[in-house]
Structure 1
Amino acid sequence: MSGKSPPVAGPPISRQRKQILKILITGASGLLGRSVFSQLSANPAFDVTGTAFSRAGENLRRLDLTDSAAVADMLREIQPQVVIHCAAERWPDRCAENPDAAWQLNVQSTERLAQLCRDTGAQLVYISTDYVFDGSAPPYSADDEPNPINFYGRSKLAGEQAVLGNGDHWVLRVPLLFGPVTYLRESGVTALLETVRDPQAVTLDDWAIRFPTSVEDVARVLEQCLLKTAVGAHLGGIYQWSGDTACTRYQLARVVAETYGLSADHLSGDPAPQYNEPRPYNCQLDKSRLTDMGIEAGEPLTQQLARYLHPFL
């Protein structure tokens, strides 16, 4: 058919506005990636491809992020408009024990992914951490100067810089994560159920202030952000999200105990813990940049803990 069609012959405006956003998720088998993949896949506004490495299979494509050619091939095949980079080495002690591997994943592979996304026209969303701050002057805004005090924090900050320096991408910083787990020790938060149930006396950190944050909430935040970009909003730079409950590891263990009516008499708090790797005191994140956009998520910590720990009782 040639020539210009009259306006009434084109697709209805409502159909034009429902253009599907193609999304690629790295690390979709991990603690955060699973919830992000599940949340976004359930939304008909998105066409989602999840990738994993050692746990690929079923609904997830295998992707080695250290293989630049494989990453480039995947991007050319899927042609995503957005890539959510959940894959990372997120345990501070493991990062310090194997710094070369952690740097390769958290920084070098991230930088190459950012470059490939830029070259293919995809926007990269990089998941970072509150540990980019030293914890001495909370709460921290997205514009505050980072000053990480451990290797993990330094690697994630370098990842942020690589992402923001290689295209029109954005960063989402989040603190201590927990949520639906495949085994209790997959998160330091859910692992506390084992600590509470073991009657052996134990001393827990009662110094560092953390803000446990549900991966399901982070997934909802990402979903809302992407829905805004789908209708023309532009996201760029650094954003932050966090749960609202401040607690030490000792206090959190007592919350776990109280939630299930378990004894906490064998638990004691250490106000001056010694770490293999330094930990910041309080990295509370100011999330107003997102809440001012109307982004919402969250429910009481005790309610979240009850839901996530119930399968292990």
Structure 2
Amino acid sequence: MDVETTISKIDLAGQVSFEEAAFLLLYKHIPKRAELIAFSTRLSKARALPLQIVELIKTLRHARPMTVLRTAVSALGAVQEQQADRASRIDPRERLIARIPTIFATHHACRSGAALPVPHAGFGHSKNLLAMLGLAHDDLRVRLTDIGLVTQAEQGTGASAFAARVAVNAGADIFAAITAALGSFDGPGQGGAIAETAAMLKEIGSPDRAKEYVRKHRKKAGEDPRAQHLRAAAEELAAITRRGTTLEILEALHMLGADAGLRGWTVAFYEQLGIPEDLYLPMSAASRITGWLAHIDEETGGRT
């Protein structure tokens, strides 16, 4: 069963947790209750970073979050080669899913001078992610974060997924393949465009300036059906946070036929959650890792 067939089996966003979606992408079927509990437990046990990775992140505290994430993922491969990973019995795919949030949360703490985050064993994936970043992690935000992560989990064979496929096809290991995917995803032609979208929304500044911006830049409509899930999540949070300017700008663009699409509503959603702007891309990578791993499995016939 290929990746697209797996994803199309159900409308994932809003219907399943991130753990259920990740399991589906890795193992090609919806988990039974016992399977989901076991999978979630393994993710929880794999969250803590090896000491070598924590020390590496400390030395890179002034680097860009995506640079640190890419470097740390590559270094995890070296730690495994040295047989120094206490969680080595856990599938490396599951370790990567579990640890990407810990990597960028640890880096964020280092650069902020805060205490290093400790993964919460009793929390699900989304709740733990929010808690490690020091953000509110009530039931509403956890549910909406699940929706945000699931919405972006798999987006077809774009440049980043293709980079991962090329790497494993050449015989590279899974850590090298995900490093390649992260490097590609960081580019402005892929996930890096999220930063450009955030800058665009800042430049517009207010809904009444949207028409002038569209006239000058001739932005074309770019609707994405997946954006509806992030839009609904952002609007639900805005009712609580009262931070609505970005949502109003996006609505104005939509009315002008210049929809900012999935990236625009991703920015709005992360803003409502309180995610720092330079963590928007690592947050998206924490979601996309599941899709990349599914593409790797498809490319290798499951021999990862």
With normalisation by structure 1, the TM-score equals 0.28
Q: Which has a greater percent of strand?
A: 1
Greater RCO (Cα-Cα under 8 Å, separation 6 or more): 2
Q: Which has a greater percent of helix?
A: 2
With normalisation by structure 2, the TM-score equals 0.29
Q: Determine which structure has more spread, i.e. the larger CA radius of gyration.
A: 1
